[in-house]
Amino acid sequence: MKALISILLFYFISGRSVYAKFIDTETFQADLNFYEIKIERTNHLGLHQEDVLMKDERGYFFNSRSLGKKIPTEIAEIWSSLEKGPDRLENGFTNRRAACSSGNYIYSKMIRTGLPGKIDQRRGCTEGKLYARIIQKIRMLKDFAGRI
C-alpha cells in the first residue's frame, strides 16, 4: 500500500515531463519546446524591423521582455499561431507573384538544442491579408507585454 501511495505521490508531484527529463538529462537540454522565433521584415524603401519571440525554461519572452511562465489562453493561442509560423508555401510562387513589390519578410525559428540550433526559415511578401494577420498578432503580443 505504502509503495502504491509513494508511486502515486511521485507521479503527481514530479509530473510526466519532469520524469521524462530525469530519465535522460540530455533531453532536458534539447527540449523541443525551447526556441527562438525571429520575424524580420525589410520594406521596399529599405526600412527594417524585427520582433523576437522566445521560449525557454524561464518562460515566454517577447522582444526580450518577460511575459512570465504562464500566459493567458488568448495570448497562448496567438503565441502558438506565431510559433507555427506562416505556411511554407506562402511565398513568391504559390501566391501568384513573380516578386514581392512592397518588401520581404523572413520568418526563422531556431530550436534550442544546446548544440548549434536547427533553423527553419520561411519567406514572404510584406503585404496581403495573411501578412497583416501576422502583424496583428505581433501587435497583440506587444500590447500584452505592455500591460503586464
Residues binding another protein (CB under 8 A): 2-3, 6-7, 9-10, 13-14, 18, 21-22, 25, 28-29, 40-50, 52, 57-59, 61, 63-66, 88-89, 91-94, 96-106, 122, 125-129, 131-133, 135-136, 139, 142, 145-148
The residue type of 147 is R
Give the helix ranges, DSSP H, for the chain.
2-14, 16-23, 25-29, 73-84, 129-147
**Which residue number, 25 or 73, has a Cβ lying nearer to another protein?**
25
The residue type of 91 is N
**Which residue number, 10 or 74, has a Cβ lying nearer to another protein?**
10
**Which residue number, 80 or 96, has a Cβ lying nearer to another protein?**
96
- Hunting for cell 525557454 — which residue is that? 56
| Cα–Cα distance list, 39 to 23, 46, 51, 123, 133 (Å) | 35, 16, 5, 10, 13
CB of residue 104 to another protein, shortest distance in Å = 5
**Which residue number, 63 or 74, has a Cβ lying nearer to another protein?**
63
